[in-house]
Amino acid sequence: MNELFGTLPDGTPVHRWALERAGVRVRILSYGGIVQSLESPDREGRAGNVVLGFADLDGYLTHPEPYLGALVGRYANRIAGGRFPLDGVTYALEPNNAPNSLHGGADGFDKRVWDVTPVEHGVRLSRVAAHGEEGFPGRLEVSATYTLEADGALRIAYEAVTDAPTVVNLTNHSYFNLGGPGNAGGHELRIAASRFTPVDDELIPTGDLADVTGTRFDFRRARKVGAGYDHNFVLDGGVTEAAREVAELYDPASGRVLTVATTEPGLQLYTADHLSGPFAPGDGIALETQHFPDSPNRPEFPGTVLRPGGLFGSETVYGFATR
């Protein structure tokens, strides 16, 4: 089912698609591939929205920086100095997080209207990013397919091809609050990561892969999240062909459990310490499956280069349960 959600200033219509299965209901916008709402039952069977979102299109246009629920690219997270080398050429990007590039630039995938095609139990979003869009090389044909599984899990499968060498890193930027409105700092989190990537004052990785043992980054056993995180975790197992479970978020009050499975090598934990506007700091927790920040400038990190004839593929599954 789809309906008109609003109209952009240039007259472009934005539609909202609703998917429902196994007690889970998700609403997805053609603007930015945004997961606007995601309802799942608590331990008493009462449905509630577990992601942050705005009620109307104007909310997303007025408050774009949190990237609420958005499909982020062409390169999710930060690229240092807004520049990277590829095959002997240095490409200059939009420094929208000066001096760095963040989440694909000022007009990244999160601010584009996507073509939407219904598929079984879901929708396929697609678009073509032109060569030079936000400074990135290569004409990129990209898609993200959102489907609800038989158990109500939300699966997002990304694919992309290019006509010239480029870099690609895609993610979903939903902020989860399994208890509904309020601070999410009391949620308990587990991440299957023995290492993380330390960052400098601009949140750019130093290049080290640090052991989490004895640090506040050790979530190998579930514990309360708290605040003060905007860091990439190096997931045990690295890149995989099939999505494997890498994280679990639990809200003791509602009993809701979120599991995250992915093929990606990294997970960015962001505790939303800088949220503003209608939301307060800590109102949600972002768990962004991804390749590492600044990988195009770090050859020692897992590669993000896509070449002609190759296929970018990535998959993340958000599962919902109670206990």
Q: Distance from first CA to last CA of the chain, Å, rounded? A: 31
Identify whether the C-beta of residue 24 lies closer than 8 Å to the C-beta of residue 40: yes
Q: Is residue 315 within 8 Å of 262, Cβ to Cβ?
A: yes
Look up residue 180 and give its two tokens. 């509904």
* DSSP 3-state percent helix, strand, coil across the chain (nearest 5): 5, 45, 50
Cα–Cα distance for residue pair 93/110, rounded to 1 Å: 16
The yes-or-no answer on residue 274 being catalytic is no
Token code pair at residue 22? 């196994």
Tokens 């958000």 found at: 318
**Dihedral of CA 131/132/138/144: which sign?**
negative
Tell me, yes or no, if 288 is annotated catalytic.
Answer: yes
Q: How many CB atoms lie within 10 A of CB 150?
A: 8
d(CA 110, CA 173): 9
Q: How far apart are CA 228 and CA 231, in angstroms?
A: 9
Residue type, 234: V
- Options 264, 288, 291, 315, the catalytic residue: 288
Q: Which of 173, 187, 231, 291 is catalytic?
A: 173
What one-character DSSP code corresponds to residue 164? S
**Looking at the annotation, which residues are catalytic?**
173, 288
